[in-house]
Structure 1
Amino acid sequence: MQLKVYLFEDVALKQALQPLTQHRSVAELWVGTSSLESKWPTRVSNADQAEIEVLSAVLPLASTFALLDQLPQDSCYVSAGRILAKKGKGTLPIEQPLPFLQHPEELLTYQADFLRAEINGNNPAPGNNTFISAEHIYIHPTAQVQGSILDASHGPIYIGEDVNIQIGTLIQGPAALLKGATTNMGAKIRPNTTIGPGCKVGGEINHSIFFPFSNKAHDGYLGNSIVGSFSNLGALTNGSNLRNDILPVSLYDYLLKAPRNTGIKSVGQIIGDYVTTGVGTNLNTGTVIGSHCNLSSIGFPPRYIPSFSYGEYPALRAFDFEKAFASACAWIKLKNQEIPENLRQSMEEIWKADTSFRN
């Protein structure tokens, strides 16, 4: 696709995709090996410069690019009354259901498609590692991989710049570990998993997406889950991703302000930014945790935890705002990143939006 693309936001979709969009736009959500916005070949920041305008939640798949190339001048693609893309004046509506995100867990639905499309193997020499189907494995020259097993027989594996794979790590493709990510000894990375830039992980992780600069460094299981940025899951934090009765999982929906049946049997946790869990915290199937939470629990806490929740369940209370702000800044500095100028303002907006739920 060679068209100059401008991505526009939909307020209702941004709300529905919370808590992942509390600190970022829809276009900045991660899936596969990068954010949505970075997957568009020719993107401009001003609508006046664009040849085509596209809803930011539209998934930039090869099939999407082909349909957008076919959009006539001064027409728009619509689905159920929502404009998905428009060219020129966009006055002629054409019913065309492009794939687009409506709920957070849908990132996991498309995870394998993006990983398979975006990873090209470079057939690295195994060294002191065991590589299965090495032709489908990419390892950046600056990455360190020691005493590990990488199995790409069922999907490609990407090991990015400055990634450190410690001894005993097991990786099954499709999977991607992005710039500066680290695994602890004996980590188990199972299929359809993305470990974002600057993340440190250990234990067992399956079909999950870690946004940049988050940790789950120690033993514990996480599956069919998404973790926002600058979050830290303490040692032996475990997340269930399957109901005992194997019925479809419900997730709290920020737009509906109520649980929503996903129709999916395997859904773990949707975790916002700047969330920390204590040692041995157990999280139930289909748990949604808002941003800026500091929590621990011996039993299972609620399946919806509002932003700025603090303490050990069942004695959760509001996280003091200044302490939450200081904690967020500390995690940003720990990851050697710059504190955003609008961090306090963004946190204040989240605080106000979730006040009624904390009460």
Structure 2
Amino acid sequence: MPPIVLLDDADWRNNFYPFSVNRSVADLRIGIFTQQERWEKFSGNNVYIATIDYLSNLYESISETDAWYVAANVLPNTALLEALSNLHQGEAIQNETQLIAFYGQYERALKLFNHQMDAMCASHHFQHPLSILHAATDMFLMNVSIIHADIALIRSTTQPAVIDTSNRIENADAVFIAQGAIAKHVIINACDGPVYIGENALVMEGALLRGPIAVGANAVVKMGTAIYGGTSIGKHSVVGGEIKNSIIMDETNKAHHGYLGDSVIGNWCNIGAGASNSNIKNSGASVAVWNDVTKTYSRLLHKCGVLMGDYTRVAINSAINTASVMGICCNVFGTGLLPRHLPHFSWGVEKKYAFEQAIQDITHWMAFKKSGLSKHEMNVLKHIFDQSGE
């Protein structure tokens, strides 16, 4: 069986700004898993990542000359895995919207995913249902269905722990508490969707969970937290307050009161006490979201909160505007409603972070969780800083 390589060096990857600027789309956590983890669990094999040049050192490379190159924004299913197995060398799979997969060498795969005509090949049209993420906002828009699929995938191979009798549960059959997790005196309503609590997670007493929800391994849900459906909490993250239809990735803190809705928060972020976001305009009209490719506001949505890049921190009592986009490595503070777009390495709302100070502050925050930046991660951040201008 050829190795599977998730490739995101394609024209759609920039639609995942600000999350794709310092990591591959295959490395973004949606539902319970990252795309790489999801494909590994689904296929039962190691899965690799191929991405743009300045990110390539973050990921393990493969030695084989031929592989199944699959678009990193495509979710796996049985029909797609079967279609891959039927591919001959040099053949591709596509649907109405994009190239899905190619079997062959990396150089040719890269040309095909970037629409270079000299790499044309025999192509099979995929006619089965397929879930594809086309932009960062799709992450929270599709999170309900992805949580359902991920929990079903876990149930197919893993047995849950016994639910503690101190909890009040509605539809206990749809609740999956993993081994080592602690959840006592918690109210869980899984009538509208399943609830997953990962390995060694802690859900404190008085928390209110209404599915579909995924709480990742080693995460902490604090006392009195209210979490509504469509929400994923990443590994080692700490949450409190009110959260609805949002993704919080790994090692991030939203530990205090305040509202977060229809949002995606990256890795290693911190949202200060009392900070809240708007997710709908007062007029009820649609809101446009910042497009970093065109440098304009586009893609109208009825509801959208905030897209917050990795390593960004927001001060206490911040008022985050509807459909806000914050880049990576920002230290955000200011009076009134914050601007709807803040570029990478913003200091406050008008200045640029000094790179050395930004790295020092990130290092302090990562030390709280006994972690730190690797040399390759540091190089990536310096590249982005240098490209971001004054």
The TM-score with structure 1 as length reference comes to: 0.90
**Following TM superposition, by how much is the alpha carbon of 1:319 offset from its aligned partner in structure 2, in angstroms?**
1.0
Q: 2:99 aligns to what SS in structure 1? A: strand
- State which drifts further: 149-158 or 52-61: 52-61
Residue in 1 aligned with 2:368?
334
Shift in Å at residue 268 of structure 1? 0.8
* Equivalences for residues 1-359 of structure 1 within 5 A: 4-40=3-39, 41=43, 42-45=45-48, 46=62, 48=64, 51-62=67-78, 64-65=80-81, 67-69=83-85, 71=87, 74-79=90-95, 82-88=98-104, 91-96=121-126, 99-119=131-151, 120=155, 122=160, 124-262=162-300, 264-311=301-348, 313=349, 316-355=350-389, 359=390
Deviation, 1:19, is 0.8
Letter in 2 for 1:309: S
How many angstroms does 1:113 deviate by? 1.6
Residue aligned with 1:12, SS: coil
Offset of residue 252 of structure 1: 0.9
CA contact (8 A) 1:157 1:176 kept: yes
Find the residue that maps to 1:327 and give its secondary structure.
Answer: helix
Q: Is the 8 A contact 2:221 2:238 kept in 1?
A: yes
- Specify the alignment match of 2:57 in structure 1: none
Structure 2 residue identity aligned to 1:100: I
- Residues 219-260 of structure 1, C-alpha deviation per residue, up to 9 Å, x if partnerless? 000011000011000011101111222232211112222111
Change (3 A) 1:47 1:64: farther
User: How far does the alpha carbon of each residue in 1:86-142 deviate from its partner, in whole angstroms, 9 at most, with x for none?
Assistant: 134782023448543331011123211221122238473342211111111111231
Q: Distance in 1 between matches of 2:78 and 2:264?
A: 24
* Residue 57 (structure 1) shift: 1.9
Q: Distance in 2 between matches of 1:338 and 1:352?
A: 21
The structural deviation recorded for 1:44 is: 4.3
Aligned residues: 351
Q: In the TM superposition, what is the alpha-carbon distance from 1:49 to its structure 2 partner?
A: 5.9
3-state SS in 2 of match to 1:342: helix
CA distance in 2, matches of 1:13, 1:202: 34
1:138 partner SS = strand
* Aligned-partner SS, 1:288: strand
Deviations 1:18-54 (A, max 9, x none): 2111221111011111100111123444373655221
Higher helix share: 2
Aligned-partner Cα distance in 2 for 1:326–1:188: 34
Contact 1:204–1:220 (Cα < 8 Å) also in 2: yes
Q: Distance in 2 between matches of 1:273 and 1:209?
A: 13
The worse-fitting range, judged by mean Cα deviation, of 124-133 and 150-159 is: 124-133
TM-score under structure 2 length normalisation: 0.83
Does the aligned pair in 2 maintain the 1:123–1:135 contact within 8 Å? no
Q: Distance in 2 between matches of 1:251 and 1:107?
A: 14
The one-letter amino acid of 1:160's match is G
Paired AA for residue 93 in structure 1:
S
Contact 2:25 2:73 in 1 (8 A): yes
Q: What are the ranges of 5 or more consecutive residues in structure 2 without an aligned counterpart?
A: 49-61, 106-119
Distance, in Å, in 2 between the alignment partners of 1:268 and 1:38 is 27
For the 8 Å contact 1:169–1:185, the answer to whether it is kept is yes
Q: 1:81 to 1:211 in 2, by over 3 A?
A: closer
1: CA distance, partners of 2:241 / 2:278: 14
Preserved contact between residue 65 and residue 104 of structure 2 (Cα < 8 Å): no
More off after superposition, 37-46 vs 72-81: 72-81
Structure 1 unaligned spans of 5+: none
Q: Which amino acid aligns with 1:106?
A: D
